[in-house]
Amino acid sequence: MTDQAPVTYTGPSRVLSGVQPSGALHLGNYLGALVKFTRLQHEIDTFIFVADLHAITVWQDPAALAQQTREIAAAYIASGLDPDKATIFPQSAVREHAELSWIFNCVARLGWLDRMTQFKEKSGKHKERSSVGLYTYPVLQAADILVYKATHVPVGEDQKQHLELTRDIAQKFNHDFNAPGFFPLPDPLIQGPGARVMSLRDGSAKMSKSDPSDYSRINLTDDADAIAAKIKKARTDPEPLPETIEELAARAEADNLVGIFAALSGKTKAEVLADYAGKGFGTFKPALAELAVEKLAPVGEKMRGLLGDPAVLDAILAKGAEKAREAAAPTLAEVKKLVGFWGA
């Protein structure tokens, strides 16, 4: 008797990702995620959601949450996502996410979640005060992905561990319920250039919407004057730009600004240095500010226009939710049958 190779998933390719509606999006989100989503929609069946179920793992103002959801949707569309190509929807509007998450809670092992480093980082010394949702949200992430049988997921360094958990859950479900190849083992799509944009005030810290200084980030809703002012005030060092990537890597703030220029222009860092090596920030910053205004100001303008007409955004989200449910419902129905639920 010969060993048989494991059965692999043979369904269609599909990509899924989402962003939490827990604050204004910024340049790091734009370069690290939104422009990638825009490209992917032309290459693969694309599902992009607003992760409002994930957002409430920490307290969110109920009076603001729906508007924050619209803001993320506006950012998606203003950045180039086409609702006729990509499925854009609020996570909470597709109940299959939560239903599959509970089933996966019964498949995943406690030891797997104990190894998740993000919970330790987010809960800090007060994990007993953290919500159970904050602890188990990687299981919901697995459900987000697998309810659509997504085969590819854009990830940064901080999410690789969660995607491994998704693969473990998929593999264990397929094994436990004798359903070889039922769920795919999704592959990561590494974000590439621009995936990690650092603070404009501290090159060792990631750009964050939670930073108390608004000058640490460029918000997608900033106008041209604000964008230029923030680039002008970005922290640097007194030395001119170097000639090599190796020299640049030792200078965190300079490396960050060169990386932003590269990502916005579609060039490599080496190509940017070829143009600006030996020049000071008095020359480089105005060039970067001009480029950033050119690329980002239209995004902010379109976002403000969309947010001025919430009925249009709501119609897009409702249509996307309907399409997402059409894709998710058959998967959940099959899962219920495999699990053995009555009536399935």
CA distances from 105 to 140, 172, 337, 339 (A): 8, 12, 17, 13
The reply, when asked if residue 22 is annotated as ligand binding, is yes
The reply, when asked if residue 207 is annotated as ligand binding, is yes
Tell me, yes or no, if 122 is annotated catalytic: yes
From the candidates 206, 267, 319, 323, which is the catalytic residue?
Answer: 206
The reply, when asked if residue 157 is annotated as ligand binding, is yes
The reply, when asked if residue 326 is annotated as ligand binding, is no
The reply, when asked if residue 29 is annotated as ligand binding, is yes
From the candidates 85, 172, 209, 267, which is the catalytic residue?
Answer: 209
Convert 44-67 to b/e letters by CB count within 10 Å (16 or more is b): bbbbbbbbbbbbbbeebeeeebee
CA distances from 190 to 42, 68, 298 (A): 17, 27, 27
Tell me, yes or no, if 206 is annotated catalytic: yes
The reply, when asked if residue 17 is annotated as ligand binding, is no
The reply, when asked if residue 158 is annotated as ligand binding, is yes
The reply, when asked if residue 266 is annotated as ligand binding, is no
The reply, when asked if residue 21 is annotated as ligand binding, is yes
From the candidates 85, 122, 172, 267, which is the catalytic residue?
Answer: 122
Binding residues for ATP: 20-22, 28-29, 156-158, 197, 206-210
Binding residues: 20-22, 28-29, 144, 156-158, 197, 206-210
Catalytic residues: 122, 206, 209
Binding residues for L-tryptophan: 144
